[in-house]
Amino acid sequence: MKLFIYFTGQFPDLSLLNSLQNESDIELKLVPLSHISVDIGYRLGKIHIQSQVKAVGQSTGVEMEALTAVSVAALTVYDMLKPLQKGPIIIEKIELLEKLGGSKGSYLKLGASK
């Protein structure tokens, strides 16, 4: 999953965003997970959030965990930035980049890097 947030104001201290990676207030337990990570970066005036999720013995629905992780991270970033931004903060382009296995098989978005 990948999400782009466009933010045009003064960017806050990156340590605030790094702390999101350790946020555990919301546990994602729709399916049993063996791995979940959320990476947050900033380049060219955009915040990029990407999540990777792995599950063992679960054949379907795992991508919902990644979508939830990216969405919660985006909303947290939005909440942190709204006092700093006078104009709109746009959250957009949540998309599945790659999926391996599952009931419908594997998927790799055209142009996505592995």
Is the CB of residue 67 less than 8 Å from the CB of residue 1? yes
Q: Phi, psi (5° rounding) for residue 72?
A: -65, -40
**Catalytic-role residue among 13, 25, 39, 79:** 79
| CA 8 – CA 32 distance, rounded (Å) | 38
Active site residue 79: yes
| CA 91 – CA 85 distance, rounded (Å) | 14
Catalytic residues: 79
